[in-house]
Amino acid sequence: MERTERISVSWTWGIRCNSPRGWRQQAGQALLRLVGWIDGRWLLAVDISAKPALPNREISQCLRAGLEHASRLVGDSARNACFEEALRQARPDLYEQDTP
C-alpha cells in the first residue's frame, strides 16, 4: 500500500501606508502632514508585515523596486500631460466643446 502525505503551506502579508493605529502613530502622522505642508514634499510611512518573516534586506529591495515603478508612472504621467498641453496649444479647436 502506498502512503500519501499531505503538505500544507500558508502565508500572509500586508502593507499599509500612512494608516496610523495608535495615538503615537496618529501624532506622527499629523507631524508628517505638517512637514509635507511646510516643505511641499510627499512623506510616506510604510508598515509591512509578513509571515513567514522576511529579512529586512528583501523588504528593502521590494520597496526600492516599488518606488522605481512609481517613479516611472509619475514620469509617464508628466510626459502625457506635457503632450496634452502642447496639443491644446497647437489645436485648441479639438478641446472646444459645443454648447447647445
For residues 39-48, one letter each, b for 16 or more C-beta atoms within 10 angstroms of the residue's C-beta and e for the rest, the string is eeeeeeeeee
Q: If pLDDT is split at 50, 70 and 90, which confidence band does 1 have?
A: low
> What is the arithmetic mean of pLDDT over 6-24?
82
Mark whether 62 and 44 lie in a shared domain: no
Q: Which amino acid is at 34?
A: L
Specify if 18 maps to a domain.
yes
Domain around 34 = 11-53
Shared-domain flag, residues 49 and 61:
no
Do 60 and 86 fall into the same domain? yes
Question: Quick check: is 64 in a domain?
Answer: yes
The pLDDT assigned to 66 comes to 92
Mean pLDDT to the nearest integer, 77-94 = 92
All three cell numbers of 1: 500500500
Residue 96, pLDDT score: 83
Could you tell me if residue 17 is inside a domain?
Answer: yes
Q: Give the pLDDT confidence score for residue 19 in this predicted structure.
A: 78
Residue with cell 507631524: 31
Same domain (yes/no): 47, 64? no
Confidence of residue 99 (pLDDT cuts 50, 70, 90): low
Number of domains in the chain: 2
pLDDT confidence tier of residue 45, bands split at 50, 70 and 90: confident
- Residues 47, 63 within the same domain: no
Average pLDDT over residues 48-61: 92
Q: Does any domain span residue 5?
A: no
